Each structure stands twice: as C-alpha cells, then as structure tokens.
A and B are shown apart, each in its own frame.
Chain A
Amino acid sequence: KAGVTQTPRYLIKTRGQQVTLSCSPISGHRSVSWYQQTPGQGLQFLFEYFSETQRNKGNFPGRFSGRQFSNSRSEMNVSTLELGDSALYLCASSVNSYNEQFFGPGTRLTVL
C-alpha cells in the first residue's frame, strides 16, 4: 500500500506570495491533518479534514487554509507569505480520527 505523498518536497517563495501544498493520503484513509514544524519546535497542529469537512483547527491565522477533495486528497494554502512561515509542513492521514496517523515526508517551504 502506497504511503502518504506530499508535493512538492521543496519550495522557495518570497514574502507576500502565496503557496499551495498538496497531500495524497493512504488509500482508504479519510482523515487528513496538517502540521507545521519549525526548528527547535515540535509539530504544531494546523487543521484536520474528514470527508471534505474541516473538523478541527489549530491556532494559526486565517492566511492558512485548506480543503479536502472527494478522493480525500488535501491541499493547504498559505497566502501573503511571511518569513516566519518557513518550515516543514507535514501531512498525516488516518483511517478515521481514532487511530495513529501516518505521515508524509513533508514539504520544506523557504520564504525569502
């Protein structure tokens, strides 16, 4: 069974731009969560989608948004990028919300 895939793996943007990251969960998984990891910090929860609905949301500004499609694939969008948005963005999927999550390799975003 294929794992969680994330595209692109690396991205360089400049301040003020916007970016869209993509995540394909494991087949059959309906829950997709997004996390941000910055140096020296643990994973900070961004949001969770389940069956195309945002079920949970972390404490991030409205510049961070996401969506989930009917095939469970998910996208995350960050508008008006700031230097502090430079981070590793991790996507995780699970069958539902009651089990462990399976993580993708992440997208390394650098904002210049």
Chain B
Amino acid sequence: AQTVTQSQPEMSVQEAETVTLSCTYDTSESDYYLFWYKQPPSRQMILVIRQEAYKQQNATENRFSVNFQKAAKSFSLKISDSQLGDAAMYFCAYSTGGTYKYIFGTGTRLKVLA
C-alpha cells in the first residue's frame, strides 16, 4: 500500500530565509503524481505545487520549488524568501496515475518569525 510520511510536525523559519519541508512516500507504481498543499488558519486547502513522476525536472512555482528524488522516494518543498503569509500547515499528497485516490501525509506546521 502506498504511504506518505512527513516527519516534521513543526518547522520555524525567519522571515526572508529559506526553509525545506520533507516528505517521503512509498509506492511500487511508476506513474504517479505528487502534490504540496497549503492549509492556512482559514482551513482552505490550496495547491502549492505539483510534480509528475515521469518528469525529471523539478517543479517550481515562484518562491516554491521541489526536490524530487524518485529513486529515494523523496519529495521535499523549498520555500525561498519566506513571508509571514506562508505560515500554514503544509500537506504532501500522492496520487497514482489513472486513479482518483489521494493519500495525504499528516502535515507540517510552518511558523514564520518576523
């Protein structure tokens, strides 16, 4: 069975600094998708970034980028130039290609210090 593990329950970063959130997953599939979602205190889950497993190039979205290590089954999120608005719960998620089932990690709470 597929699993998603986020080993950091909580992280802190100074404003304007860079932080990396870890995510590992376990699967025997070769075709899958990985996601990072952000959940601020408003509870609205928002997609931050998405990575297709068949793509070797790491996805980037402005200040957000991933380090996708397929062999190691690792999918970390790097936030550069952290802003106060980045403070939220971050969830890593996995979905096997061609299915609708998503598996979420338990989340990492990110605090941004002014």
On whether the two chains bind one another, the answer is no
